Structure 1
Amino acid sequence: MKKKLPFAATALGVSMVLGACAEDEATTEEKLGEVNLAYVEWDTEIASTHVIGQVLENIGYDVTLTPLDNAIMWEAVSKGEADAMVAGWLPATHAAQLDKYGENLVHLGENLTGAKIGLVVPSYMDVNSIEDLTTEAGSTITGIEAGAGVMSATEAAIGNYPNLANWELLPSSSGAMTVALDQAIANEEEIIVTGWSPHWKFASYDLKYLEDPQGVFGGEETINTFVRQGLEEDAPDAYKVLDAFNWTAEDIEEVMLAINGGKNPEEAATDWINANAEKVKEWTQGIE
């Protein structure tokens, strides 16, 4: 898979060239066409996009994975500058992006259920609710990339909860946030982070979500697949796989843990695919 291409302001222009796939062990297999998958560099989306990208590669597509900022990812697929994404958190986290770009997208439904966002702390901290916060961690919440849905929700929480009136939300990145979390836990220090699940950190550390009495962070979320208009006609096999793609929190956490443990995303994706052949077969059913 080609990956991590920079996003240009001009259209990426993905051209789908469908052709017959010649089975010849002595020659390079002819590709079905090109597919460009957009994703945000969050641990969940790195895992899911590399897995589905590898599956598409295995059935004969030339796959490019393009990391983008969240809003640009939605815009790119809506404009046909990328073909698909498997990273739409609904109903709350990406509600603004869905409202803005949804009419120009094809929604293929949920690919994972039981997702959640909120404020997360180590379990040793003596707070259980957002309303319990006073001056912990220097009145600072460690966040991720500005513009992410959990960041917007946290900004709303700071505005809605009177006890957070003097608090600061510190933008960083998902990687920097987990490094800060790891360092704080190693020293048994206070830290509040913007969190979401599924995520490998819940398997690696003893963490808890803070209760959200005002419901600012919403309830249970789903992660959804969206594709550009016309993809079904241009690349029907890719469309079928993306439409069928569905897995569990345990599945995605297995891939995320492998990546966090030192495997590169391509290797982690390949290992999971090899170990879950029956599930992958369901996604590719009816495709030669």
Structure 2
Amino acid sequence: MRAPLLGVALCLALAQTPAEAAGKQVRLAYVEWADAVVATNILKLALEEKGYEVKAIPLAAAAMWQAVATGDADASVAAWLPVTQGAYYEKLKNRLELIGPNVTGAKIGWAVPATSPLNSIEDLKTKAAEVDGKVIGIDPGAGVMKTSEAAIKAYGLPVKLLDGSDATMTSALKDAIRRKQDVVVTAWTPHWMFARYQLKYLADPKQVFGGEESVNTLARKGLKEDMPEVYGILQKFKLGIKDEEAVMAENEEKGAKPAETAAKWIAANRATVDGWLK
């Protein structure tokens, strides 16, 4: 009986869902950063309006790019370029399609409370003690962390970069502001912390963190041919920084659910979403 059982198991493993069989399932890969959560949930609901079954797949940044390159994911709207995730793009650009920016005016760097006497990264050469010689970071594989390590070397700073997560970084920021203490955190725009707190970026005269960033849409090879309607929606999908930061801030409220805040944004921006879906 073993052979028939194996045959049944194999059939089950290869069986497609009705949505997959009809070419109506879309797999969106994303990094669990606040901005990517917002964008992915909004796009997910928009695609579902057109009858697609959408699966949102949270991954580390490297795995997100790899999933699109291998076709394990159809698309992603969470690709930061040219600096933050530029290394992934250079490695995989021939195996996926870069559709283009869905958010412009993005930025990465180090941020401090607006009241901080620190104004430039160079100030930390002599004032590192004011922040306990620390820069509070996020997950070690993130692009902003790699660039932060480069900044420490480029400026010759007597500081240590602490890794953690988006949550631990923002918790440290919140605590420092509550205690009216100074702190330096790895930062990027869009991020909800800029909607909630009065912050400023430290000047980067050496331009280690680069200039303006954009958040981009990626697609697997062949998506344009396989799912032209989805591809067309991805081409039109655009968000503003202020919109994203407002929804991100809502998601930080107790009991908030990203799917619900995304639905609320869609309801308030119906004309924009209808433009994507035409």
TM over 0.5: yes
Aligned to 1:161: 155
1:258 to 246, 250, 253: 250
Does residue 232 (structure 1) correspond to residue 224 (structure 2)? The answer is yes
Tell me the distance in 1 between the aligned counterparts of 2:175 and 2:202: 20
Distance 1:18 1:237, change over 3 A: farther
Aligned to 1:55: 46
Tell me the distance in 1 between the aligned counterparts of 2:25 and 2:260: 21
Q: Which runs of 4+ in 1 moved over 4 A?
A: 13-16
Give the Å deviation of 1:14: 9.4
* Runs of at least 5 residues in structure 2 that lack an aligned partner in the other structure: 1-14
| 1:49-128 superposed matches below 5 A | 49-128=40-119
| 1:1-288 superposed matches below 5 A | 17=20, 19=22, 33-133=24-124, 134-135=127-128, 136-162=130-156, 164=157, 166-262=158-254, 263-285=256-278
Tell me the distance in 1 between the aligned counterparts of 2:78 and 2:64: 9
Give the Å deviation of 1:233: 2.0
TM-score by length of 1: 0.87
- Which amino acid in 1 is paired with 2:132? G
Give the Å deviation of 1:18: 6.2
Give the stretch that moved more between structures: 260-269 or 272-281: 260-269
Q: Contact 2:195–2:246 at 8 Å: present in 1 too?
A: no
Give the Å deviation of 1:254: 2.3
Give the Å deviation of 1:115: 0.3
Tell me the distance in 2 between the aligned counterparts of 1:180 and 1:127: 18
Distance 1:206 1:184, change over 3 A: same
Aligned residues: CA RMSD: 1.6
Identity of aligned residues (%): 45
* Runs of at least 5 residues in structure 1 that lack an aligned partner in the other structure: 1-12, 20-31
Q: Contact 2:100–2:235 at 8 Å: present in 1 too?
A: yes
Q: Contact 1:127–1:210 at 8 Å: present in 2 too?
A: yes
Aligned length: 259
Q: For residues 116-164 of structure 1, give each alpha carbon's deviation from its aligned partner in whole angstroms, at most 9, with x where no partner exists.
A: 00000011211100000132321111001111111111010011112x1
